[in-house]
Amino acid sequence: MFFKLSVVVTSVFITLAAAIPNTTPPVTTPTSNQCCDSVVSSSSTAASVVAAVLGLDLTGLNVPVGLSCSPITVLGNNCGGTEVTCDAPQQEFGGLIAINCIPITA
């Protein structure tokens, strides 16, 4: 009985993994000011997990990525994290990840 259940569960996971398309995000000149909770390497475990959830393939990219980001606005710059300029606006990935983040220096 347990064997049949494990075969069914494994089949479901394989089907779901195949259904989620992996796309490589574009890397362009950073133009979007963001406040991110953290900035990590695109090859880090944390970045890989978030990217996998979003269906992004970070393989081969060697850029810093921001995690849990929101746009910095002129009216309310209360960034409690790291201020960076990134490629991808947070709207594209729901604020979970931003690509090619360079620290903003004053």
What was the pLDDT predicted at 98?
86
pLDDT, tens digit only, all 106 positions of the chain? 444 545 444 444 455 444 555 566 656 667 778 888 999 999 999 999 988 888 888 888 888 999 988 888 766 567 878 888 888 554 467 788 888 888 887 6
What was the pLDDT predicted at 89?
56
Sheet with strand 64-71: strands edge to edge: 97-99, 64-71, 32-41, 82-86, 102-103
Q: Is the pTM of this model over 0.85?
A: no
